[in-house]
Amino acid sequence: MSKEYKSGTFCIDINCPKHKVLEGLDGNAYIEKKQEHCKECYAWQFINWAKDNKFRIVHTWPQVSNKQLAAMIKGIDPVRVEDLTEEEIMCL
């Protein structure tokens, strides 16, 4: 099940004290203000790095093992790679 991202989700989850300035902003206004206001935040830097390098952030499912998730990310049937480690699966 996919959950749509809402502006400030991460900031709210970690109770970031800098987020108050951004509350009430949406869309481009939120992003523009955040680019300047949060440029020193390591979490924001990581999100931008991931986006710039075309990485996706995935949320694991508790009922799915890391090995199964690695296989699904790579588009492989988990049964076919049950003897491999997660690292080996991601290298395929």
Question: 6-51 pLDDT, tens per residue?
Answer: 666 677 777 788 888 888 888 888 888 988 888 888 878 888 888 8
Q: Which residue has the tokens 């749509």?
A: 4
Q: Which residue has the higher pLDDT, 71 or 6?
A: 71
Gap between the Cα atoms of 34 and 38, Å rounded: 5
Gap between the Cα atoms of 82 and 50, Å rounded: 29
